[in-house]
Structure formats: structure tokens, C-alpha cells
Amino acid sequence: MDEVKSIFEPRKVVLIGSSKMREKVGMTSPQLFHSVAYNMKKFFKGKTVVLDTHRNKGYTDLGQISATPDLAVIMLPPKESIPISETCAKIGVKALVMITGGYKDEQRRKLLKLKEEYGIRILGPNTIMGVINTANGLNTSFERNTMPKRGRIAVISQSGGVGACMLDWACFYKIGISKFAFVGDKIDVSDVELLQYLGKDKDTKVICLYMEGVKNGREFIEEARRIVEKKPILVLKGGITTEAAQRARSHTASIAGSDEVFDAAFKKAGMIRVGNIEELMDTAVALSKQPPMRGDNVAIVSNVGGPAILAADAVAKNGLKLAALAEKTKSKIERLYQGVDASNPIDMIADAKGERYSKVLELVLADKNVDGVLVINMLKSTFFEPKDGRVIPKIASKHPDKPIVDVPAGGEDFSKVYSVLGNTSIPLYNLPEKAVKALKVLRTYGKILGKH
């Protein structure tokens, strides 16, 4: 466990690559090596030593480093990696992150022998992007200057490509991340150990997994089951169809079982399955910012008609219910605002500004018949301005027991409201259907917690 901790929380890191050696496919290249060095120097708050095997012939140089690093990040081709890994193990490095791929079975066995002999732990090989920890700035990815915002979502990816896509997504949409781990071929450090670590990690509130297969199924499910009592686990499974599964096998050398088996296992473990990367990120944001939903009843509060109807459709399609508001709530709202129809979905009309949202949300959140609220505040075709949105987190903070999600539907409208509310506790979605999906996942987690 301590060694796995060293992967994410080292005090000192040695980055080992070459400014000359080039082997594109396995991600060995001077350019990528320099990019990782750039990221480590720019972001990592601990100490980074960069060892260029081209300039420092003979790997014994490592011995000259005054204090032993906890972690070595290796970006050399397999043949060159093995002796340097051995040197690392001998001098007491606790863990290796093996960025490069293309290892043969014999080479993997040699690496594993180091673990057996010296206790050194290995993430990868073929992790491609390695690890990111936004708390201490550790960033072994070779995407120069790419660092997600600090937050409470951890991501484990079995695929470099899918992981890179999630990283890109998180950075672009400013999604708060705690840790990123690209597991690669998993010859040593397993999903189970990563789950264990993230389960205990104080910075992590939600765990996202992209997986194609699993090695120790039973152990994995048991660990997940324990963790979901404290924090939700979202999972995106790749290789669900026969052909894709075949490809997944050769892709990350993992055993992909039938999709039904996985589905049953996820359910048993209390993991929540999602359909694509956007859904994974969208629902992770909801889980990281909002409480689980304790019943099925959703209230929709909107300044436009059509999008509220689409939201109501999505509520039904997702097996949730439109809350039947208490008569008292309805009459209070309708007394306050002439012309407003307070039947759910509540149409507050196009001239609703912050004040009306504030009062109506206050009444709706206080209604016992309401378990969660979906707010729609379009800018186009209405009088709403982005700053009006500030009332939403304010009112929400008075009702920390009920989830609330917000839909500034559209492209530009979404980005304008996001620039005002993106950093608050309110998850934002560009379409009603995505917000309803987020509520659905909050409800699912509510049910999972209820069972335990």
C-alpha cells in the first residue's frame, strides 16, 4: 500500500529518458521526454531529477543522486528500461511508472522479478501518460502544459487513448480532478490496489473507471463494494461487443468477459455504469458537487417552455418522476408571480430574473414532495443574464440535502453561464437531457447508499 502511495505522493521523482533515442510507437522520443520534464518542473511541488541516458552513459549515475527518489518515471524502450529499473530497485526506489510500451513476455517477467526481489512496485508498462496528482502537481504526462484543475474526481483508465481523451475533456471543460492514473498493461499494480488507494484518498470524492477487462474479478468487486459506501464509483466499459472485446484483448492484454457478466458484477458491487466519456464526466461532476437524491421526484424550474418539456420527457425516460408539488407551494408561487404556471414543470416565463429564481427555488426546495431540482435558465429569447445565476448556489446551500442541477441550454449561453457558475457547487449542463441523466445517477447512488 505504501508503495502504491509512492506512485501518487512521492517527495522526490527521477525521470529517466533519452534526448537521442527515438522509437515512436512505444512513446520513446526526445520530444516526449522533454515534455514530461517540462510538466514535472512546472507543476510538481516535490523534487524532480531528470536523467538523460544519452548524456549520462552508464546508468550508474543514479547512484550519484544524493537522496534516493521514491518514484522513477521511465521513458526508455524495453531493452534499456530493464537495467535502469534494476538500478532503481537496488538503490531503494519504491515504485516505477513505466510510460513506454512494447514489452515482450520475457521482459515483463524480468520487471516482475525486480518486484519480488526488491519490493519495488510497477505501474504499467505501456501507461502512456502515467499519473497526475493535482494536489502535489505530479504530472508524468507528455502533453506539455496540460494540467487539470484541482478537484475531487479521480480517474483510472485502462486505455491511454480514452484516458487522454478524458484528460483533454477535463482540462477543456475545467472539471476538477484529484488524480489521474493510466494503468497500461497492469503487470503489477492492479485496479484493485488503485481503487484501495483512491478509496482512502481524502482528495477524492468520486472515482471514474474506464475498463476493458479485469484480472481479479472477485477481489475487484469486493473492494468496490466497500468503497461505494463512502464514495461513488462510475464505470465506462469498453469492448462490450464480441468484435470490440476481441480487440480489447489484444489492446491491453486483459481478459474481457461477456458484457452481461460485467453488468451483473457492476450492479453487485454498487458501481454505476455510464454510456460514454461525456456521461462519465458529466455525472462525476454531479456526484462530486451534489448530494445523492433520496427519492424519485424531480421539480423543473424554467424560464422557457420547450426545453422544460424536453426535460420532463427525459425525467420519465430515465425512470424518475415529475414531483407533484404541494398545493401550498403552487399557490404561494402563483400569488407571488402573476402569470406563472406553478404546475411542474414550473414555467416562470421569459422575464424571470435572479430574484424570481431565488424565491421560487426556495419554495420548491422546501417542498417535501421534491427530492431534486432541475433549473433551466436560457439567456437567448429571455431576460436572464449570467449574473442572475448567482442566486442558484446561494439557495442551494440552504438545502444541502437535495441535489440541484442547472441547464443554461445551448452553446454560447452555456459557456457564458459557465464562466459565472462553473466554480460553484452547481453542476451545469448544456442540454436538459444531460442534466436529467446527472440527477438519475445521483438517484442511483442514493439507492446504493440506502442498500448498504
* Binding to its own copies, residues 364-393 (CB under 8 A): 378-383
For the bound state, the minimum distance from the C-beta of residue 309 to its own copies, rounded and expressed in Å, comes to 4
253 binds its own copies (CB under 8 A): no
Whose Cβ is closer to its own copies: residue 263's or residue 412's? 412
Q: Choose one: 71-79, 183-191, 362-370, 428-436; the region binding its own copies (CB under 8 A).
A: 428-436
Kindly give, in sequence order, each residue whose CB lies less than 8 Å from that of residue 64, ignoring residues fewer than 6 positions away. none
Whose Cβ is closer to its own copies: residue 112's or residue 350's? 350
Contact positions with its own copies (CB under 8 A) in 119-148: 128-129, 143, 146
Q: How far apart are CA 271 and CA 75, in angstroms?
A: 34
Beta bridge partners of 48: 13
Q: Choose one: 113-121, 166-174, 198-206, 287-295; the region binding its own copies (CB under 8 A).
A: 166-174
For the bound state, the minimum distance from the C-beta of residue 177 to its own copies, rounded and expressed in Å, comes to 13
Beta bridge partners of 19: none
Pick left, alpha or beta for residue 71 (phi over 0 → left; psi -120 to 50 → alpha; otherwise beta).
Answer: beta
> Contact at 8 Å (CB) between 280 and 274?
yes
351 binds its own copies (CB under 8 A): yes
Where does 228-295 have alpha helices with state H? 242-252, 259-269, 277-289
- Tell me which of 18, 85, 139, 158 binds its own copies, using CB under 8 A: 158
Kindly give, in sequence order, each residue whose CB lies less than 8 Å from that of residue 246, ignoring residues fewer than 6 positions away. none
Whose Cβ is closer to its own copies: residue 120's or residue 370's? 370
Mask: binding to its own copies, 430-449, rule CB under 8 A, as x and -?
xxxx----------------
* 298 φ/ψ angles, rounded to the nearest 5 degrees: -105, 135
Q: Is 14 exposed, middle or buried (0-12, 13-18, 19+ CB in 10 A)?
A: buried
Whose Cβ is closer to its own copies: residue 163's or residue 446's? 163
Helix (H) and strand (E) counts for the chain? 16, 17
251 binds its own copies (CB under 8 A): yes
The CA-atom distances, in angstroms, between 3 and each of 72, 152, 351 are 12, 22, 58
If binding means CB under 8 A, how many residues of this protein chain bind its own copies? 80
> Contact at 8 Å (CB) between 325 and 343?
yes
Q: How far apart are CA 165 and CA 227, in angstroms?
A: 26
Contact positions with its own copies (CB under 8 A) in 54-113: none
For the bound state, the minimum distance from the C-beta of residue 392 to its own copies, rounded and expressed in Å, comes to 18
For the bound state, the minimum distance from the C-beta of residue 51 to its own copies, rounded and expressed in Å, comes to 23
Q: How many CB atoms lie within 10 A of CB 334?
A: 15
- Cell 534499456 found at: 80
Mask: binding to its own copies, 273-312, rule CB under 8 A, as x and -?
--xxxx-----------------------x-xxxxxxx-x
413 binds its own copies (CB under 8 A): yes
For the bound state, the minimum distance from the C-beta of residue 86 to its own copies, rounded and expressed in Å, comes to 28
Q: Choose one: 52-60, 110-118, 189-197, 235-243; the region binding its own copies (CB under 8 A).
A: 235-243
Contact positions with its own copies (CB under 8 A) in 11-40: 24-25, 27
Contact positions with its own copies (CB under 8 A) in 193-222: 210, 212
- Cell 464562466 found at: 419
- Tell me which of 159, 254, 288, 329 binds its own copies, using CB under 8 A: 159
3-state SS class at 13 = strand
Whose Cβ is closer to its own copies: residue 137's or residue 239's? 239
Q: How far apart are CA 438 and CA 232, in angstroms?
A: 13
Whose Cβ is closer to its own copies: residue 52's or residue 433's? 433
User: In which element (H, E) is residue 370 found?
Assistant: none
Does the bond joining 393 to the residue before it have cis omega, within 30 degrees of 0?
A: no
For the bound state, the minimum distance from the C-beta of residue 408 to its own copies, rounded and expressed in Å, comes to 10
